[in-house]
Amino acid sequence: MSRRFYITTAIDYVNGRPHLGHTYEKVAADALARYHRLLGEEVCFLTGTDEHGTKVARAAEADGMDVQAFVDRQAAAFRAAWDALDVSYDVFVRTTEDRHARAVQQVLERIRDRGDDLFEGTYEGWYCVGCEAYKPDKDLVDGRCPDHPTLDPRWVKEDNLFFRLSRFRDGLLAHLEANPGFVQPETRRNEVLAVLRGGLEDLSVSREGLGWGVPIPFRPGATVYVWFDALVNYVSGLGFADGDERFRRFWPADLHLVGKDITRFHCIIWPAMLLAAGLELPRAVYGHGWVLATGGQRESKSAGNVTDPVALAEQYGPDPVRYFLLGAIPFGKDGEFSRARLEEKYTSALANELGNLLSRTLNMAEKYRAGVPDPDGRPEPGIEDLCARATFAWREAMDRHQLDEGLQAAWNIVSTLNNLIQSREPWKVAKDPARERELSAFLYALCEGLRIAAVLLQPFVPRTARAVLERVGAPGDYAAPVAVTATWGRLVPGTAVVKGEPLFPRLPEPA
């Protein structure tokens, strides 16, 4: 039986349209999902939308729309964006779906029935609608939430249903200590440990009155606090409420990939909810960094500096956007995005390195060997070794979730082959009939190196990888297990290459 891998992203609030920050996370999770599929694992990749809460209800009101009609429209925009970027999710979950509401209710009922972790209390304090979270005074700066400085925190006083979060502090501390990989990267783990060591307060989990949320079955007129509702998506999307086979197959999750701003919800509240409900804990949570606009501000709707991912994908193609996000930002850290930086990478890396390598290789195969670069000469152990080392480094980086390093490992093949063309000067070799076998061996090795580079590039730039595989005559290697495809010598002697249009046409000069 093959290994299983369940990966999730955060589900996005639908108060605004998808932006590059949301995109970064979905594309990163997609690269990991594709990687695990290439390892031959059975993968479930879940993403979706968070559609309840004050923030979303207010946005619908501001648009003068019925809330359900509003969230339907918004959720469709998120789905369309992920489709435009080739995000290969298996499950798209929406928190306004019936299967989700029933799952939230069941989790609450399980917690209630298993002990005294739900109790009556009174909440009094600040609430940041941007975070959809309570804010102790110590977390406010000049009376404002540092993550949402444009929004006024609201003073709330309500008799509520509480979740006894404090009870889980010691257990969670012990869990983090026994499982160093539970929170990644290390900086996030240290943050979570510091929060746990500081102690946990119980959490208000009900909203009284007619809120936009999941009704609490045993508390008429009340709805579930939006985070308590949203976190359940990771099981509701697998069909938890109906005891689906998918839930039994894939829970617990192997990886929750979320932004660093919400790592705590995933490493403290969510595991506590699961423990209280008697469900297994996820194996790991990775808190990635932020995409920043030029000048270092986080892309966000409230900051008003958002980039539309669909417009970018239409202009440059999905792969250049993916290449930039995954390759130019060290994974786990923040990174700046600008069109100028994207265009720079497009030209210097995609067009001038990969695009040129492919077209030079195919042109030479065409010119010197009528399109069939036979391996009838001596072998090319240097290039074979280069590919073996790249594959090893790629696996090692991807297993640590270091996507930028994984991409770089694959790219090393591309850069080195380009350098070899420069230094070996095959156009000179071609003039000497005594060196015919040497030229054949080199041309074959270039195609084979390109094929293996394309195999390793699939998680990052799937369309480009597919096109390269087709051009070098290995279309069947797309999406096939790497244990087979990353092996040297698969290109069958006699296979013809397929010339075509440039992969990355030159960008128009800026006006």
Give the burial string for 394-407 (b: 16+ CB within 10 Å, else e).
bbebbeebbbbbbb
Report the nearest approach of ligand MSP to the CB of residue 71 (Å).
Answer: 12
Task: Show contacts with ligand MSP in window 215-244 (CB under 6 A).
Answer: 230-231, 233
Question: Which ranges in 333-372 belong to alpha helices (H)?
Answer: 339-345, 356-369
Q: Which of 90, 261, 353, 366 binds ligand MSP (CB under 6 A)?
A: 261
Of the candidates 247, 211, 246, the residue with the CA atom closest to the CA atom of residue 229: 211
Q: Which of 163, 250, 290, 316 binds ligand MSP (CB under 6 A)?
A: 290
Report the nearest approach of ligand MSP to the CB of residue 22 (Å).
Answer: 5
CA 243, distance to chain mean position in Å, is: 27
Report the nearest approach of ligand MSP to the CB of residue 229 (Å).
Answer: 9
Q: Which of 84, 238, 291, 457 binds ligand MSP (CB under 6 A)?
A: 291
Tokens 């298996």 correspond to: 90
Is 394 a binder of ligand MSP (CB under 6 A)?
Answer: no
DSSP, collapsed to helix, strand or coil, labels residue 71 as helix
Tokens 């900086």 correspond to: 187
> Which residue, 145 or 387, has its beta carbon nearer to ligand MSP?
145
Is 262 a binder of ligand MSP (CB under 6 A)?
Answer: yes
Report the nearest approach of ligand MSP to the CB of residue 110 (Å).
Answer: 18
Dist. CA 450–CA 455, nearest whole Å: 9
Letters for 239-258 (x = contact with ligand MSP by CB under 6 A, - = none) are -------------------x
53: left (phi over 0), alpha (psi -120 to 50) or beta: left
Is 126 a binder of ligand MSP (CB under 6 A)?
Answer: no
Stretch that binds ligand MSP, among 158-166, 295-303, 378-386, 469-477 (CB under 6 A): 295-303
Backbone angles phi, psi at 417, to 5 degrees: -65, -40
> Which residue, 255 or 503, has its beta carbon nearer to ligand MSP?
255
Q: How far is CA 151 from CA 39, 230, 280, 315, 419, in A?
A: 45, 22, 37, 33, 53
Contact 497, 365 (CB under 8 A): yes
> Which residue, 291 or 362, has its beta carbon nearer to ligand MSP?
291
Dist. CA 78–CA 22, nearest whole Å: 9
Of the candidates 313, 379, 301, 260, the residue with the CA atom closest to the CA atom of residue 15: 301
Report the nearest approach of ligand MSP to the CB of residue 237 (Å).
Answer: 11
Dist. CA 314–CA 254, nearest whole Å: 33
Q: Which of 105, 106, 300, 440 binds ligand MSP (CB under 6 A)?
A: 300
Of the candidates 118, 93, 115, 116, the residue with the CA atom closest to the CA atom of residue 216: 118
> Which residue, 13 or 411, has its beta carbon nearer to ligand MSP?
13
Report the nearest approach of ligand MSP to the CB of residue 286 (Å).
Answer: 10
Dist. CA 40–CA 142, nearest whole Å: 52
Dist. CA 475–CA 163, nearest whole Å: 54
Binding residues for ligand MSP, total number by CB under 6 A? 21
> Which residue, 13 or 444, has its beta carbon nearer to ligand MSP?
13
Would you call the peptide bond into 252 cis, given omega within 30 degrees of 0 as the criterion? yes
Is 317 a binder of ligand MSP (CB under 6 A)?
Answer: no
Report the nearest approach of ligand MSP to the CB of residue 299 (Å).
Answer: 4
Letters for 6-45 (x = contact with ligand MSP by CB under 6 A, - = none) are ----xxxx-------xx-xx--------------------
Residue nearest to ligand MSP (CB): 259
Stretch that binds ligand MSP, among 39-47, 293-301, 411-419, 439-447 (CB under 6 A): 293-301
Of the candidates 415, 424, 425, the residue with the CA atom closest to the CA atom of residue 453: 415
Q: Which of 97, 254, 299, 404 binds ligand MSP (CB under 6 A)?
A: 299
Report the nearest approach of ligand MSP to the CB of residue 58 (Å).
Answer: 14
Report the nearest approach of ligand MSP to the CB of residue 30 (Å).
Answer: 14
Task: Show contacts with ligand MSP in window 186-215 (CB under 6 A).
Answer: none
Report the nearest approach of ligand MSP to the CB of residue 497 (Å).
Answer: 40
Contacts of residue 503, defined as CB under 8 A and 6 or more positions apart, other chains included, come to: 350, 351, 354, 355, 358, 359, 464, 467, 468
Q: Supply the Cα-derived Rg of the chain in whole angstroms.
A: 26
| Residues that bind ligand MSP in the complex, under the rule CB under 6 A | 10-13, 21-22, 24-25, 50, 230-231, 233, 258-259, 261-262, 290-291, 298-300
